[in-house]
């Protein structure tokens, strides 16, 4: 085993906090590597957090007509990463796209928000997050495709898509995705709100 693959006691990953190397039920031995927060998602979170930082780090402009640039450098770096990663659908990229849309709403760039949120919704649909995945198995290999923690994460991301779709649709006055309401019904009622 290489030194890089061993975890030091002070390093915590998403897999550790989810209840061990394979999640809370240890149903999926295929997802056993430690999960780190992707750089794209971190940069977008920093871009959002910078707008709430103290005034010393990001002073507001004295002219009220000037756009406050707090977090722009993080967002610019995230956009560069997004250009190289959006062709491969990942849950973390969906999260990053939704957060990028949320940030753009906050600064009044509704056209960009509409674009990012639409991309996030379509990526989530590409990953099948709008469908109930409890019974999905790896055919011929045994074991469930997603453990309970991953199923819960997929539901949270999908409902984030639904909320952001409704939010932008109310603000702009047009729908991003017409069938989003019908596809949401494919999740069972018992698990739909189980976050």
Domain boundaries, given as residue ranges, for the chain? 35-53+68-192
**Res. 85: pLDDT tops 80:** yes
Instruction: Report the pLDDT value the prediction gives residue 67, as an integer from 0 to 100.
Output: 79
Instruction: Report the pLDDT value the prediction gives residue 100, as an integer from 0 to 100.
Output: 96
Distance between CA atoms of residues 105 and 22, nearest Å: 37
Instruction: Report the pLDDT value the prediction gives residue 79, as an integer from 0 to 100.
Output: 95
Cβ–Cβ contacts within 10 Å for residue 94, how many? 26
Q: Nearest-CA neighbor of 46 among 13, 16, 81, 15?
A: 81
pLDDT category of residue 65 using cuts at 50, 70 and 90: confident
pLDDT category of residue 171 using cuts at 50, 70 and 90: confident
Higher pLDDT, 15 or 110: 110
Whether the predicted model's global pTM rises above the 0.85 cut: no
Q: Which residues contact 187 (CB under 8 A, 6 or more apart)?
A: 130, 131, 132, 155, 158
**Res. 190: pLDDT tops 50:** no
Do 168 and 101 meet the contact criterion of CB atoms below 8 Å apart? yes
pLDDT digits (tens, 9 = 90+) for 17-51: 444 444 444 555 555 566 789 999 999 999 999 88
User: Strand pairing partners for 144?
Assistant: 137
pLDDT digits (tens, 9 = 90+) for 105-162: 988 888 899 999 999 999 999 998 988 888 887 777 777 888 888 888 999 999 999 8
Instruction: Report the pLDDT value the prediction gives residue 195, as an integer from 0 to 100.
Output: 43
| Average pLDDT over the chain, rounded to an integer | 76
**Res. 69: pLDDT tops 90:** no
The DSSP output letter for 67 is: P
The DSSP output letter for 4 is: G
Instruction: Report the pLDDT value the prediction gives residue 16, as an integer from 0 to 100.
Output: 45
Instruction: Report the pLDDT value the prediction gives residue 175, as an integer from 0 to 100.
Output: 65
């Amino acid at each position: 085993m290489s030194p890089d693959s061993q975890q030091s006691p002070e390093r915590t990953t998403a897999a550790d906090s989810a209840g061990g190397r394979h999640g809370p039920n240890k149903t999926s031995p295929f997802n056993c590597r430690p999960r780190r927060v992707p750089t794209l998602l971190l940069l977008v979170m920093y871009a959002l957090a910078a707008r709430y930082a103290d005034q010393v780090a990001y002073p507001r402009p004295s002219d009220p007509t000037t756009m406050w640039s707090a977090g722009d450098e993080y967002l610019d770096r995230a956009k560069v990463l997004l250009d190289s990663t959006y062709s491969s659908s990942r849950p973390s990229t969906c999260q990053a796209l939704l957060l990028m849309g949320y940030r753009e709403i906050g600064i009044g760039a509704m056209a960009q928000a509409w674009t990012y949120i639409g991309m996030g919704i379509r990526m989530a649909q590409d990953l099948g997050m709008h469908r109930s995945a409890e019974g999905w198995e790896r055919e011929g290999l045994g074991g469930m495709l997603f453990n309970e923690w991953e199923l819960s994460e997929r539901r949270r991301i999908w409902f984030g898509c639904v909320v952001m779709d409704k939010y932008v649709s109310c603000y702009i006055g047009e729908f991003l995705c017409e069938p989003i309401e019908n596809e949401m019904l494919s999740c069972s009622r018992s698990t739909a709100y189980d976050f």
